[in-house]
Chains A and B, each alone.
Chain A
Amino acid sequence: MKIAGKQLLWGEYQKEIATDKYFYARSCIRQNFFPASEYTFLKILREELGKDIYEDPRHTTCTGIVYHTDLVRIETTMTVIARQFALMTESGYKNYVASCITSFGLYNEILDLWEHHPAMEQKAKELLWKATKREFEKPLNIAHASDIIYKFRNEIAARGKFRLINKDTGKPLRGVEHIGCHYSRMFPHKGVGGAEYPYVLAGMIEAFGGEVIDYPERRHCCGFGFRQYIVKANRGFSVASSKKKFESMAPYKPDFILTNCPGCPYFLDRWQYAISELEGVTYGEKGHGIPVLTYEELAGLILGYNPWDLGLQVHQVAMEPLLEKIGIPFDPAKKYLGIDDKFLGKPENPSLLKVY
Chain B
Amino acid sequence: MKHILVIGGGVAGLEASIRLSELGFSVSIIEQADKLGGKLNRWDRLFPNSLPAKDLLQELESRLNSNIQAHLNAQISAIQKNKNEFEVTITGGLHLSVDAVLVTTGFEVFDANKKEEYGYGIYDNVITSAELEETLRNGGELLTIDGKKPNRIGIIHCVGSRDEKAGNTYCSQVCCITAVKQAIEIREQLPESEIFCFYMDLRMFGRHFENIYKDAQIKHEVQFIRGRLSEAFENSDGSLMLKVEDTLLGKPLKMNVDMVILMVGMVPSANSNHIKNILKLKTAADDGFFSPADKHYESLKTDMPGIFIAGACSGPKTMENTINEARAVSIQIAEYLKSNKHHSITQILETVKL
Query: A residues engaging B (CB < 8 A)?
Result: 1-2, 5-6, 8-9, 194-197, 214-219, 251-252
A197, B236: Cβ atoms under 8 Å? no
With A9-B116, A216-B241 already in contact, the answer to whether A197 and B235 are too (CB < 8 A) is: no
List B residues 102-134 near A (Cβ within 8 Å): 113, 116-117, 121-124
Some 14 contacts from A to B, beta carbons below 8 A apart, are A1-B123, A2-B121, A2-B123, A2-B124, A5-B122, A8-B121, A195-B116, A196-B116, A197-B122, A214-B234, A216-B233, A216-B234, A217-B233, A219-B231
A197, B116: Cβ atoms under 8 Å? yes
A218, B233: Cβ atoms under 8 Å? yes
Kindly list 18 other residue pairs between chains A and B, CB separation below 8 angstroms, not including A197-B116, A197-B122, A251-B236: A1-B122, A1-B124, A2-B122, A2-B123, A2-B124, A5-B113, A6-B122, A8-B113, A9-B113, A9-B116, A195-B116, A196-B117, A214-B234, A216-B234, A216-B235, A216-B241, A218-B233, A219-B231
In the assembled complex, the CB of B206 is this many whole angstroms from the nearest CB of chain A, namely 35
Q: Which residue of B lies closest to A8 (CB)?
A: B121
A8–B124 Cα distance when bound, in Å, is 15
Residues of B within 8 A of A9 (CB): 113, 116, 121-122
B116, A194: Cβ atoms under 8 Å? yes
A69–B113 Cα distance when bound, in Å, is 35
Residues of A within 8 A of B123 (CB): 1-2
A9–B111 Cα distance when bound, in Å, is 13
Pairs of residues from A and B, 9 with the lowest C-beta to C-beta distance, nearest first: A5-B121, A5-B122, A196-B116, A216-B233, A216-B241, A196-B117, A2-B122, A216-B235, A6-B122
Q: How many A-B residue pairs have CB under 8 A?
A: 37
In the assembled complex, the CB of B231 is this many whole angstroms from the nearest CB of chain A, namely 6
Residues of A within 8 A of B117 (CB): 196
In the assembled complex, the CB of B261 is this many whole angstroms from the nearest CB of chain A, namely 17
List B residues 80-119 near A (Cβ within 8 Å): 113, 116-117
Residues of B within 8 A of A197 (CB): 116, 122
In the assembled complex, the CB of A181 is this many whole angstroms from the nearest CB of chain B, namely 13
Q: Which residue of B lies closest to A7 (CB)?
A: B122
A219, B233: Cβ atoms under 8 Å? yes
In the assembled complex, the CB of A259 is this many whole angstroms from the nearest CB of chain B, namely 19
Residues of A within 8 A of B113 (CB): 5, 8-9
List B residues 219-276 near A (Cβ within 8 Å): 231, 233-236, 241
A6–B234 Cα distance when bound, in Å, is 13
Q: Which residue of A lies closest to B117 (CB)?
A: A196
**Most B CB within 10 A of own CB, among A9, A196, A218:** A196
Residues of B within 8 A of A1 (CB): 122-124, 234
A219–B236 Cα distance when bound, in Å, is 16
**Most A CB within 10 A of own CB, among B116, B235, B241:** B116
In the assembled complex, the CB of A94 is this many whole angstroms from the nearest CB of chain B, namely 32
Q: Which residue of B lies closest to A194 (CB)?
A: B116
Residues of A within 8 A of B124 (CB): 1-2
In the assembled complex, the CB of A4 is this many whole angstroms from the nearest CB of chain B, namely 8
Residues of B within 8 A of A218 (CB): 233
A251–B116 Cα distance when bound, in Å, is 25
Residues of A within 8 A of B234 (CB): 1, 214, 216
A2–B233 Cα distance when bound, in Å, is 13
A216–B236 Cα distance when bound, in Å, is 8
In the assembled complex, the CB of A240 is this many whole angstroms from the nearest CB of chain B, namely 13
A81–B117 Cα distance when bound, in Å, is 32
A216–B243 Cα distance when bound, in Å, is 10
Q: Which residue of A lies closest to B120 (CB)?
A: A5
Residues of B within 8 A of A196 (CB): 116-117
As a 0/1 sequence over residues 322 to 349 of chain B, the CB contacts with chain A under 8 angstroms (1 = contact) are 0000000000000000000000000000
Residues of A within 8 A of B231 (CB): 219
In the assembled complex, the CB of B2 is this many whole angstroms from the nearest CB of chain A, namely 48
Residues of B within 8 A of A219 (CB): 231, 233
Q: Which residue of B lies closest to A196 (CB)?
A: B116
Q: Which residue of A lies closest to B116 (CB)?
A: A196
In the assembled complex, the CB of A302 is this many whole angstroms from the nearest CB of chain B, namely 28
Residues of B within 8 A of A6 (CB): 122
A313–B116 Cα distance when bound, in Å, is 39
Q: Which residue of A lies closest to B123 (CB)?
A: A1
Residues of B within 8 A of A217 (CB): 233
In the assembled complex, the CB of B189 is this many whole angstroms from the nearest CB of chain A, namely 25
Q: Which residue of A lies closest to B115 (CB)?
A: A196
A217–B116 Cα distance when bound, in Å, is 16
Q: Which residue of A lies closest to B240 (CB)?
A: A216
In the assembled complex, the CB of A9 is this many whole angstroms from the nearest CB of chain B, namely 6
In the assembled complex, the CB of A24 is this many whole angstroms from the nearest CB of chain B, namely 31
Residues of A within 8 A of B241 (CB): 216
In the assembled complex, the CB of B176 is this many whole angstroms from the nearest CB of chain A, namely 26
A311–B96 Cα distance when bound, in Å, is 78
A110–B117 Cα distance when bound, in Å, is 26
A6–B123 Cα distance when bound, in Å, is 10
In the assembled complex, the CB of A310 is this many whole angstroms from the nearest CB of chain B, namely 32
In the assembled complex, the CB of B237 is this many whole angstroms from the nearest CB of chain A, namely 10
In the assembled complex, the CB of A184 is this many whole angstroms from the nearest CB of chain B, namely 11
A9–B122 Cα distance when bound, in Å, is 9
Residues of A within 8 A of B233 (CB): 215-219
A194–B235 Cα distance when bound, in Å, is 21
A252, B236: Cβ atoms under 8 Å? yes
In the assembled complex, the CB of B236 is this many whole angstroms from the nearest CB of chain A, namely 6
In the assembled complex, the CB of B232 is this many whole angstroms from the nearest CB of chain A, namely 9
In the assembled complex, the CB of B18 is this many whole angstroms from the nearest CB of chain A, namely 41
In the assembled complex, the CB of A2 is this many whole angstroms from the nearest CB of chain B, namely 5
